[in-house]
Structures are given as C-alpha cells and as structure tokens.
DNA sequence: GGGCGATTTTTGGTTTAACCATTATCTAAA
DNA sequence: TTTAGATAATGGTTAAACCAAAAATCGCCC
C-alpha cells in the first residue's frame, strides 16, 4: 500500500520547530506520529471507509515500530472512532464510516463529570432545534412533507395504544426531529442534533414521567410544527419548536430536582 | 490505594450476560476492563482531578496485567481526556479536570471527516452565533459590557493602522465573538463556537480580501452589536449578528467561486 | 553553611520474542 | 453434499530488558 509515504516522520530526538500546537508534555512519542499519519490518510480520503489496514505485523514493518507501539496507536485511533478492530483471520483494523458515537461519548462524559449541566445541554438543544426549524421551512419539498405526515400518523397510532406505546412514540418523536434536520439539509446540524440526542436520551428514561397526558401534549405540538413547516411559517415553526423543547426540558428538570432532594 | 477493589472483574473466557450495550467485537479485552475501572473511579469521584495514579509498574501489580496491556488502557484514558501523562520521576498519570475541549476535538474530527462545505459551516455558524447573541443579551452584566467596550476600542485602534493592522483586527474581532459566547454562559456554545473558528479560520486567510473598507464595515457591525447587547435588545442583536456573519460568508463565497473558476 | 554540578533514582517510552485465543478457510471423511 | 477437524492468519497478552527524561540526592567547592 502506498498510502503511508514516510515510515517515520520524526526521528528520535528530532525537534519540530514548526509545530504550533502546544504539546502538553513536549515529548515526542512514536505512537502519536503513527496515529497522525493514519488519521491524515483517513481524513484526506486516501483510506476510505471500509478499507482494511494491513495486519499489525505488516504495519510494524511499514512504520519501523514495535508491535506494542503500533498497538498503542491503534488503540487511540479506535478510541477516536476512526477504526474498528476485529480478531481472527481476515480480521484487523477497518476504517469506519463516520461515527457520531465518539462525540456523544465525550459530551456524555462531560455531563457525568458535571462540567456541563443537563440544563446547558437542554438550552443548547433548544437553540439548535429552533434554527433547524427555520431552515427546514425554507427547504421542505412536497415529498418531505409527505414523509413527515407519515411519521406523524405513526406517532398517532402509538398514541392510541396509551402507556404501552410510550417507547415507540418517543422513538417516532425522535425520528421527526431528526428528519427535520435532514430536511434542513445541513449535515452539521444533523450531526450535532444526533449527538445531543445520544447524550440526552438516557435522561428521558430517567426524568420523564410516563404520563399519557404528556404524550398527547407532545403530539399536538408535533402536529402544529409540521403544519407550520408545511405552510412556510418560519417564525411560527421556530417558536413552536423552541417552546416544545423547552417544555420537555422543564419537565425533566423538575423531576431531576425531585430525585436529588 | 484502596480505590480499585477488584483486580480483574472478568476472567479470560467469562461471558457477561448482563452487558446490555452492544459490544461490536463481542470479545473481552483486559485493557477495556482496566479502562472501565479507572474511569469509574474518576467519574464517581474516588479519584479527584489532580490525583496521581500509581506508576505503570505499580498498576501492573494492582490489575495483574502486563505492562503493555496496562499502557493500552492508559492510552485510551488519555485519549478520552480523563488523564494526562508526564515522563520523568514524579511523572505518571494525573487525573484531569475534564474540560469541554474533548468534545471540540471529536466535533472537529466529525466536520473534517464529513468534508462539509464552507457553506454548511458558514450557515451553521450564522445560526449558532445568532443564538449566542440572544443569550448574551439576557445574561450580560455591567462588567461584561465594560470588557467588550475595551475590546471594541482595541479593534478601533487596529482599524486606524489600516492594512497593517488587518491580522490584529481579525484577532480582536474573533475575541469579541468568543467573549459573547462566554457571556452567554453556556459552555457548549462556547466550545462549539471555538471549534467552528478552528475550522473556518483557514478560509479567512484564503478568501477574505484585505480591503480596508471591509474592516470599517465590520467595525460598524461590531459597534452596533455591542450597543444592542448593552441596551438589552435581544431581537436586534440576533438580527445584527446573523447579518454580520452572513455578509462575511457571502464575501468568502464569492471569492471562493472566483478562485475555483 | 550555601550554592551548584554530577550522579542516582524514578518513571514513562520502546523493543523483542514468544505464546494464547479467535476466526476464516481449506480438506477430507461421512 | 454436508460437515467435522486441521490449518493458517490475526489480534490479545505476557515477559524481560533497555533507553530517555525529569526529579531528587549527593558531594564538591567556595
């Protein structure tokens, strides 16, 4: 494979005066060099998703590094979500198709570490979803509306099943929000929103009371939102989404307080 | 240290039927077990920020794992941002005060991986900065306003120096935007905005003509924005910021088109 | 006694070589 | 044709050694 052009970009002991990023320890670590080379190859598209990296013993030769050092590099790439590793013959490291997991994991770590509060996360979500709604109004095509009406109908069905349909309803609710972001047509919003959901979802289970009344309220909101999007009412959609998300957040916050007291 | 109660939670070959999360490879890896134990200790506060972990050779005994395996675990924890590692005597792994930076890094990776367009990035920035402005209006204290006026003054000084102050002016402009996010008081917005700047900055140099007129326009915008924040005009600040960012984006886009044609 | 340079000690970084565990593939028997 | 067992490829783990960096210590000289 001609993907890695240079075996070792820095020799042991070399200085790198061009390095503008502050490297905490200041020390040169070979496995970091390997990480950078492989990461660059992936990010620049020289290694596409699905591509299989050579075996550890092969890479060992390519980079003139020991297997242990190489494995440390692979661990980092795995943790970054860039590759997956399987054992066995024909196993090895495979380049991942973009995964949102890592971002949600670090967001999740932050919340658990109490560096950001559930309230921060909720507020951020409120803002992002509001923006998404405005863009969605601008860009919704008839077929998008048809699909959304379909989702709404599905939600309505689950609603009628009462408490037993709770999880299903929440799932469809989620789909509707995510679909709005898709309609908005900006992949960053879509990614960010998925990340938020990845982090916030477990709080739903913990802090949302499984009241039927809540689902009905929610359903009415969704209907109004879809309607506003269909009618091209950007400001109204914006307000409705924000209010909708805000109400959710309030309920969660109240229950979170109850639990902690 | 009595922090780690069990040396090895799962023996080689054991199944873990309680594990509800889907583990892609299904395989049990010792270093993952070590990661989990140390991570739990950190997240549950048994290991506080600043605490120093035992040396690798000591941990080796604690977990009955080889040094190589242990180092893979430390790599993962380091990548997660939970610990920092320093060489030398009294070096070793230290528990980090977790910061929002980790999220930025993975977000950045995501943006680069998806190869989002400048237009997507710009549009996202427009939305985010608009939201930030609204929050900043709500939460600005007198001392925040004083600081912003100081920055504005600095920008004015660089403006008078004409083309030679271009880079400095852009830097201060950047500071003002970032400070707004700080005033907004939500660390997620701050982190996201910093990430955006990290990604978008290279386009500034490439696509922004170094015209003095541009700086003057920019400066007038900033003055109006600060004024709106000071007067508590949320809607106005929102609009001003969006227009300001939008204008920037238009100029860059035009120059990007010119260059590609 | 107080500085200050050389030495020692501690700790992470790297290498090597070997063995185990898992999985795909091939092969030969039923 | 199917299937059970052998084989090979590949990641996971261990062990023992050495190097490099940084703090602590020692000892010399003033």
Residue A217 has pLDDT above 80, yes or no: yes
Nucleotides of C under 7 A from a protein CB: 9-18, 21-25
Report the DSSP beta bridge partners of residue B64. Answer: none
- In angstroms, rounded to a whole number, what is the distance separating the alpha carbons of residues A125 and A140? 21
- Measure A232 CA to nearest chain B CA, in Å: 19
- In angstroms, rounded to a whole number, what is the distance separating the alpha carbons of residues A259 and A251? 12
With beta carbons under 8 A apart, name residues in chain B contacting A103.
103, 106-107, 110
Find which of B77, B79, B189, B235 to mutate to test the A interface (most A CBs within 10 Å of its CB).
B79
- In angstroms, rounded to a whole number, what is the distance separating the alpha carbons of residues B68 and B66? 5
- What is the reported pLDDT for B86? 93
Is strand C less than 7 A from the beta carbon of B88? Answer: yes
With beta carbons under 8 A apart, name residues in chain B contacting A134.
127
Q: Where are the alpha helices (DSSP H) in chain B?
A: 30-43, 56-63, 67-79, 101-114, 118-139, 142-160, 166-184, 187-207, 212-230, 234-260
* Residue of B25, B43, B116 lying closest to A113 (CB–CB): B43
B188 shares contact with chain A (CB less than 8 Å): yes
- What is the reported pLDDT for A4? 66
Is strand C less than 7 A from the beta carbon of B25? Answer: yes
Percent above pLDDT 70 for chain A = 89
Q: A9 or B92: whose pLDDT is higher?
A: B92
Is strand C less than 7 A from the beta carbon of A92? Answer: no
Stretch A35-63: mean pLDDT: 93
Q: Burial of A247 by CB count in 10 Å (0-12 exposed, 13-18 middle, 19+ buried)?
A: middle
pLDDT band at A16 (very low <50, low <70, confident <90, very high): very low
Stretch A8-16: mean pLDDT: 38
- What is the reported pLDDT for A28? 83
A87 shares contact with chain B (CB less than 8 Å): yes
Percent above pLDDT 90 for chain A = 59
Give the B window 115-154 contacts with A, CB below 8 Å: 115-116, 120-121, 123-124, 127-128, 130-131, 135
Residue A168 has pLDDT above 70, yes or no: yes
Torsion A213-A215-A220-A221 (CA) sign:
positive
Helices A118-139 and A101-112 meet at what angle, rounded to 10? 150
How far from A240 is each of A127, A145, A191, A221, A225, CA to CA, in Å?
Answer: 12, 17, 22, 7, 6
Judge whether A137 and A233 are in contact, CB under 8 Å: yes
Per-10-residue mean pLDDT of chain B, 261 residues long, equals 53 34 57 95 92 95 96 96 92 88 78 81 95 97 96 93 84 95 95 86 84 90 96 96 92 84 70
What does the block give as tokens for B158? 């660089």
- What is the reported pLDDT for A23? 36
- What is the reported pLDDT for A132? 98
pLDDT band at A108 (very low <50, low <70, confident <90, very high): confident
- In angstroms, rounded to a whole number, what is the distance separating the alpha carbons of residues A204 and A185? 27
Is strand D less than 7 A from the beta carbon of A11? Answer: no
What does the block give as tokens for B8? 């090895």
- In angstroms, rounded to a whole number, what is the distance separating the alpha carbons of residues A248 and A167? 16
Q: Burial of B117 by CB count in 10 Å (0-12 exposed, 13-18 middle, 19+ buried)?
A: middle
Q: A1 or A23: whose pLDDT is higher?
A: A1
- In angstroms, rounded to a whole number, what is the distance separating the alpha carbons of residues A251 and A228? 24
- What is the reported pLDDT for A184? 97
Number of C-beta neighbours around residue A112 at 10 A: 15
* pLDDT tens per residue, range A231-254: 999 999 999 999 999 998 999 988
H-run or E-run covering A92: strand A92-95
- What is the reported pLDDT for B12? 34
């Amino acid at each position: 494979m001609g993907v890695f052009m240079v075996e070792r970009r820095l020799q042991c002991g070399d200085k790198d005066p061009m390095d503008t990023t502050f490297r905490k320890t200041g020390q040169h670590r070979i496995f970091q060099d390997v990480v950078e080379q492989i990461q660059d190859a992936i990010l620049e598209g020289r290694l596409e998703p699905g591509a299989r990296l050579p075996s550890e013993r092969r890479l060992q030769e390519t980079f003139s590094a020991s297997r242990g050092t190489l494995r440390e590099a692979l661990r980092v790439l795995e943790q970054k979500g860039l590759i997956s590793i399987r054992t066995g013959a024909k196993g090895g490291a495979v380049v991942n198709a973009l995964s949102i997991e890592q971002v949600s994991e670090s967001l999740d770590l932050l919340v658990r570490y109490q560096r950001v509060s559930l309230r921060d996360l909720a507020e951020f979500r409120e803002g992002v979803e509001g923006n998404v709604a405005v863009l969605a109004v601008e860009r919704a095509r008839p077929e998008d509306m048809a699909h959304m009406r379909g989702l709404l109908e599905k939600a309505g069905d689950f609603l009628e099943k009462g408490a037993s349909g709770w999880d299903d309803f929440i799932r469809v609710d989620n789909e509707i929000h995510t679909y709005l972001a898709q309609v908005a047509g900006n992949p960053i919003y879509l990614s960010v929103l998925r990340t938020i959901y990845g982090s916030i979802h477990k709080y739903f289970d913990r802090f949302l009371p499984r009241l039927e009344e809540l689902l009905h309220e929610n359903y009415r909101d969704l209907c109004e939102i879809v309607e506003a999007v269909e009618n091209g009412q950007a400001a109204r959609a914006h307000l409705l989404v924000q209010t909708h998300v805000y109400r959710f957040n309030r309920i969660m916050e109240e229950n979170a307080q109850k639990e902690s007291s």
